[in-house]
Structure 1
Amino acid sequence: MAAMIPAFDGDDPRERFRDADRGQLLLISGLVVAVSLVALVVLLNASIYGENVATRGVEAADGEALEVRAAVVEETGARLDAANRDGSTSDADIEASVDAIDRNLTARYASRGGIAAVDLLSTTPGQYLTGSVNDSTTIGEVDRIRAFSVANGSDLPSTEAAAFTVVLNDTAANTTHEVYLYENDGDVVVARGENGSTPTERCRYPASGDPAVLDLTGDRLDGEPCPMVWPESLSDEDDGPFDIEFENADEAEAEVTATVGTDANPESDTALTVRDAVYAATIEFRYRTADLRFETPIRVAPGEPDA
């Protein structure tokens, strides 16, 4: 009689070993995936941090260069205006002024590890106007104008109808822009109209008792903001020349200061003084540090209306 072989009941030790092997493999695989994910996160964070640090460094260097650039533009503009007032506007005078700025920059930033320099490239001639105007005064064929301000020598009219008025006559467009300066209820008021229409008030500030100074191209009254005084259509020299006239200027004893392009043709029977000037200058500005090299030409025309 043949011997009977007992059937397996599912508790074979070899099956248990195979199950254990699969569990260990699954556990090890999970651990490898977890470690890989952690390593990926660490690498990603390191990359982001490094990029942020590098970006902050570039922005800081750019900001410093732009700060120096702004200071150079301001100083150059101030020296141009001083030269126009003094009549010292020869090429040698302007170049000497720019050289003085260059020496100051070199000394100031050498101790900080930077190299800053500025050179004069060219100048644009113009005319400097200053003095009294009246109702007969005309400044014709103005293609460019900057630092254009008016002031009263006596009390301003108390009504809009009698206001001291600057008329900007755009003959090519057959349009006039009127800027009114007067007092109302203890305030100095600036308003602007077009083609003789009802003017719109642009700003008002308490009268100080001193002459009111209206900077037309800079949109400011006594140093305070006075928006939209200067017509946008006259900000671009490509739009063609325009004429400047005055109304009720006699009563206000009006005084004018402006720097205009050489095509201007002032006519006045008052003490308006006209002399050659520098309208704009182009300089080359350079700034270098260990992390940055910044070099650019800059056109300087202080008080020019925004285009």
Structure 2
Amino acid sequence: MADVRHRDRGGDAADDTNWWREDARRADPRRGGRDRRDRGQLILVTGLAIAVMLVALVLLLNTVIYTQNLATRGAEVEDDAAVSFRQEAIAGVGEVVDAENRAEYDTRAKVEANVTEGVERYDGLASRYRAERSTIADVNESSLAYTDGRILRQTNASRNFTSAGESSSWTLVEDAGAGGGPGVRGFALTVARENLSDAKSSAFTVTADGSSDDWEARIYDDGGAITVAVKNGSESNADPVCSVTKSEATVDLTSGTVGGVRCPALVWAKGVAAPYDVTFDNAADATGTYGVTVNTSAAGTDVQTANFAGPGATSSPRWAPAVYAAQFEIHFETPNVEFHTTVRSAPGEPR
């Protein structure tokens, strides 16, 4: 049967003629392709926009993290600089103290006045150096406080280590450390190997003699090597701990070095409680120089001045007033860090 369509005779002629165009538009495959391309382009543009936003977000986060890390590292660097200044100030003031002690003034007032002037000069140099780096770094000279001491020295390298009265066994200090702490610092001897005993039993000996135990350091020539043997506290014998093959060497008893090399077994007065006497034995069996600074702030500590030449003398051995330790305030400041503390300088003091 045939499909018969009846048109509405009363309709608009234009409507009658346009219906097939609408159907044709829907059926046109080229028109549908353009729509799909438009949608694809829209998706692509949207994806690119999202990608750009994500990249920008990542860059922003990285910038924040970098800035935060940089700020943290900057604070750490400035903290390190404050600690470094503290160490430099302790060492710098210590060098001033020792230099003025070695000048051997005849009164305590003179040595303290010269130490103060030296610290002022040091502070001026250190402050200017730091100021050039936008940093305030200051040693407060008005806060300086000194611990009384005496320096005992022998500077005649051709002389043996006997007392001023040429006694081979003698006492340098009685009751060192009576006020607490080790009581001595910077105890170093430079010896010539050729004049040392070649037997440990008869070796030149430095002793820290306590109330019940003693500590010994024996220095002798062991087959061409300057050798140090140590007895700690209640031990029965002195055993060799370090040696150096040189014609001359410095044995630093309080810093624990032999010939400038660390000697871990050389620990001043190990096993002996303060106070103790400091003595030399077999002093005729060693030749060279030495120096030690004694803390005399405690009433019980007594340097045996009769065994030394006095202040102003040029003969060896001799004693002179000294500064044992200096205490002072330091201040360090940058735009981000402020550091203020009190420190103490006693160079060569055993720990």
Taking structure 1 as the reference length, the TM-score comes to 0.76
Change (3 A) 1:52 1:67: same
Q: What is the distance in 1 between the residues matched to 2:56 and 2:129?
A: 48
Give the drift of 1:269: 4.0
Q: Is the 8 A contact 1:218 1:304 kept in 2?
A: yes
1:114 aligns with 2:135: yes
Q: Which residue of the partner structure matches residue 55 of structure 1?
A: 72
Give the drift of 1:41: 8.7
1:183 aligns with 2:221: yes
Question: Bigger CA drift: 57-66 or 264-273?
Answer: 264-273
Give the drift of 1:92: 2.4
Give the drift of 1:299: 0.2
Give the drift of 1:181: 1.1
- Match of 1:303, SS? coil
Q: Which residue of the partner structure matches residue 334 of structure 2?
A: 289
Q: Which residue of the partner structure matches residue 197 of structure 1?
A: 236
1:197-220: CA deviations, max 9, x gaps?
23233212212x23x221100111
Within-5 A mapping of 1:90-129: 90=109, 91-120=112-141, 121=143, 122-129=145-152
Change (3 A) 1:72 1:269: closer
Q: What is the distance in 2 between the residues matched to 1:266 and 1:72?
A: 30
Q: What is the distance in 2 between the residues matched to 1:201 and 1:54?
A: 53
- Letter matched to residue 274 of structure 1: W
1:68-127: CA deviations, max 9, x gaps?
222222211111011111134533222211111111122112111111110232111111
Taking structure 2 as the reference length, the TM-score comes to 0.68
1:3-32: CA deviations, max 9, x gaps?
xxxxxxxxxxxxxxxxxxxxxxxxxxxxxx
- Match of 2:116, SS? helix
1:139 aligns with 2:173: yes
Give the drift of 1:40: 10
Q: Is the 8 A contact 1:163 1:248 kept in 2?
A: yes
Aligned positions, number: 267
Within-5 A mapping of 1:1-307: 49-88=66-105, 90=109, 91-120=112-141, 121=143, 122-131=145-154, 132-133=161-162, 134-143=168-177, 144-152=183-191, 155-171=195-211, 174-194=212-232, 195=234, 197-207=236-246, 209-210=247-248, 212-231=249-268, 233=270, 239-253=273-287, 255-262=289-296, 263=298, 264-267=301-304, 269=307, 271-306=316-351
- Letter matched to residue 206 of structure 1: T
Change (3 A) 1:300 1:146: same
Give the drift of 1:51: 4.3
- Letter matched to residue 105 of structure 1: A
Q: Which runs of 5+ in 1 are unaligned?
A: 1-34
- Letter matched to residue 207 of structure 2: V
Question: Bigger CA drift: 187-196 or 42-51?
Answer: 42-51
1:110-161: CA deviations, max 9, x gaps?
1111111102321111111112433123421111110011233552122222
Q: Is the 8 A contact 1:192 1:200 kept in 2?
A: yes
Q: Is the 8 A contact 1:191 1:201 kept in 2?
A: yes
In terms of Rg, which structure is larger? 2
Q: What is the distance in 2 between the residues matched to 1:214 and 1:81?
A: 18
- Match of 2:200, SS? coil
Percentage of pairs with the same residue: 31
Q: Is the 8 A contact 2:186 2:254 kept in 1?
A: yes
Q: Which runs of 5+ in 2 are unaligned?
A: 1-50, 155-160, 163-167, 178-182, 309-315
Q: What is the distance in 1 between the residues matched to 2:58 and 2:269?
A: 54
Question: Bigger CA drift: 68-77 or 275-284?
Answer: 68-77
Q: Is the 8 A contact 1:150 1:214 kept in 2?
A: yes
- Letter matched to residue 169 of structure 1: D
- Match of 2:330, SS? strand
Q: What is the distance in 2 between the residues matched to 1:65 and 1:257?
A: 33
Q: What is the distance in 1 between the residues matched to 2:172 and 2:122?
A: 37
